[in-house]
Structure 1
Amino acid sequence: MPRVLRSARLLGVGVLGVTLLGGCVANDPAASHTALTVDSSATDCAVSANEAPAGSIRFTVTNSGDQVTEFYLLADDGLRIVGEAENIGPGLSRDLVVQLDAGSYFTACKPGMTGDGVGKAEFTATKTDAAAAVDVDLAAQIDTANSDYASYVSDQIGQLVTGTDSFAAAYRNGDDDTARGLYASTRVHWERVETIAESFGDLDPKLDLREADLEQGQEWTGWHAIEKDLWPAEAEAGFEAYSTEKRAALTQQLVADTATLHTKVQGVSFTLSQQTNGAIGLLDEVATGKVTGEEETWSHTDLWDFQANVDGARVLYDGVRSILLQTDADLAASLDTEFASLQALLDVQRVGDGFTLYSALTPAEIRALADQVNALGEPLNQLTAALVL
């Protein structure tokens, strides 16, 4: 779900260098972080310090306001997102752990999760002479995990390009039955790597903006604009089907933007914290859109997206699991259990190659899915802190 400030959601691709884990496995990973606090109120975003040594930094964000809030760490241009903690309810706290190179950044909060945010301030990660011994074997595992995930992203976006071409051709030519059949199965490739796709400027809102998130005067393009036209019976009374010209314009833009995304992900590299925070971000997508049925307003194919987000989070987790076993085996066991439990609930809703429409789920089924997302979210939110020492 695109929002303002999501120009580089997954830790700002290209902003951070790869920082290796130390030579010794810490018994208490939190002890290796610089710990800062953030008070997010209705009008301010008060960080306990405006600088910290480069390396692993833990921001504990407490919401003292009366709206759900978000905390952002932005790159030196004030736009690209280096890290974020989302969906922090009033009176609650959440940790954001990031791995920073020396340099200049900005902090900001967004009460209500809309608008430009409040309390934007400069933050500096200072150079340090501290040298950690590098565990060569562990460093190799990290390099492999990062490389494997880069290959996975490239493959998923490649499949998205192919599927989008077929979908767009069917829709443009008026073959709506075929287009409806391709809609959800093509979008899964986007949803599996959504946090990466959101990293590249305005491509995210161009491709995936929901009508409910449109700002005044903003042009609506992408998947959901087409979705509404493909399921007109689910649209509001008085909805008028798009003209042939509008269909052609929407598909041309969709194909072009997807091709641009494919170009941008080639050669992208990742850090360990980018992967772990990416997994957390994908589960946030489930919690804030898919499990609520808000993502696919007209097609009701939310469970396809739900599964794809979980797929992506699981790929990210599996890529770092062997490392986690060395730092926190209990956390790995908990994540194994909770991922399996969530998958079991999703499997119950499978119908052939797809899923039950979200509109057909019972309140009890929705509640069970939501509860299990929360159960997985608790240990998953500890993943970055357990690995980035």
Structure 2
Amino acid sequence: MKISSFIQKEADRCVKCGLCLPHCPTYQQLKDEGDSPRGRIALMQGLAQQKLLPDEKLLAHLDRCLLCHACEVMCPSEVKYGELIKETRAALHSETTAPTGRAAEMVRRFVTEPDHRRHLSRLLRIYQNSGLGWLARHSGLLRPLGLQRIEGVVPKLGAALPTQDYYPPIGEQKGEIGLFVGCMGDSLDTTTIHAAIQLLTHLGYAVHLPQDQNCCGALHLHRGDLKQAEALANENRTAFSDLRIDALIYCASGCGSTLQKLEQVGSDETPVLEIGQFLAQIEWPKGVKLRPLDKRIAIHLPCSLSHLLHQGAAPEALLSKIPGVTLVPLPENQICCGGAGDYMMRHPALADSLRERKLRQLDIVRPDILVSSNIGCALHIAAGVRGAGLKMEVIHPVTLLAQQILMQGEGGR
């Protein structure tokens, strides 16, 4: 196994002070030093110094990291823990097999093939609308097939995305936008993409939606599969390379951190921005207003949005534009919900334990609507909300904004 000099040098920068321990979700749940940031760094040091072998126990400790980056935010030595764990997983990828499961493997295959996603989405709509879903759940058929976990997370699918690659602006044009859809946007989260197109065009932006774009590669990057991650990056570079756009916008914050890290799309002059960040910094046309809404709204901050992109203020700034809303604080918002890409499939018990903590806070706050800027988090939390019988809608902030948009001359109802 080849350990890079970066891993050896960066791991040595950790002084083992332990200030990360209260901020690490897995350590707080398991109380095992091997499941803390400094413990994992010690394991990586042992690998780098060839004092440890990558046995099943060591791999399990590394695999249980959520990559939430909460430890990085407060680390006084500014150790690049996220890069450390990803580099180590990449070094281990070709020589070892990390713990996995059927559901996680199905998810990773699903995200890489656009045609496969579209066909499966059509079948899912039939499954959900025909009564087959009810039959499968009540017959016990899903459990032996290993599909019960996936079925519980999959939402009621919205309308399929049209095969249209350009949407003209409504009113005076202010710019040209490339919209990154990702693997979930064209399958399980089409409602958010429809809302993004509606909102951007109403604000005066032409929207380009290349049909040959693909998954951002985050799941593969986090698992150490650099070859597949780079292949997906190249697909997306090609898809957007010929467009003359002012910005490339994405809706899922988990995708965005990967897009920005790898500089996958656009040129050096083309900013790659999370949609909330973009909408918060532009000037809205005077003719565009938002309908009043008498609802209590809680904002979930995904780790990717707050810890990596540092855009945690954007959702509140945007939703404050809606007259009549009451924004209620969500306690412990800095703690990971347990979704973490395919983590909820690979480590269901631990993911559900972290989600249960989030659900307890939601049960106290009782908002009418919970908004989240990351589809993985939203799916994971929404499944828990349904299971707990909580009466709240879980949607993307952009979806809520699009629902409330009011053009000049329209009525207020």
The TM-score with structure 1 as length reference comes to 0.31
The TM-score with structure 2 as length reference comes to 0.30
Q: Normalized per residue, which structure has more strand?
A: 1
Work out which structure has the larger RCO, using CA pairs closer than 8 Å and 6 or more positions apart in sequence. Answer: 1
